[in-house]
Amino acid sequence: DGYFEQVVKQCRFSSKDLQDIELIDSYVFNKAEYVRFNSTVGKYVGYTEHGVKNAEAWNKGPGLAQELGELERYCKQHAPIAYS
């Protein structure tokens, strides 16, 4: 009973080259991903009707620039730790 919501933040590394790091934020409601930010794509993408509406709004707002900054602030900052 009830609802389950989570956000999963991933930094994907394919090499030690910091240019190859990818940030993915997945937004999940009741085990179904409804919207995702992918730094390679550079925007939010919706996978459900609700997710598409959220993605459109979030791509127009200040959150997009903040999300793009997370790649630099979070993923690239922690890459040396992952490779040590």
Q: CATH number of the domain at 5-83, out of 3.40.50.410, 3.10.320.10, 1.10.760.10, 3.40.50.300?
A: 3.10.320.10
Q: Give me the pLDDT at residue 15, please.
A: 72
**Residue 16: its pLDDT value, please?**
72
User: In Å, how far from its chain's centre is CA 14?
Assistant: 17
Query: According to DSSP H, which parts of 3-84 are helical?
Result: 49-60, 63-70, 76-83
From first to last of its 84 residues, the chain has per-residue pLDDT tens of 688 999 999 998 877 777 788 999 999 999 999 999 999 999 999 999 999 999 999 999 998 988 888 888 888 887 777 777
- Angle at alpha carbon of residue 61, lines to 44 and 35, rounded to 5°: 25
Residue 53 confidence (pLDDT): 97
What ranges do the domains of the chain cover? 5-83
* Selection from 59, 15, 60, 16 nearest residue 38 by Cα: 59
Q: What is the pLDDT of residue 38?
A: 94
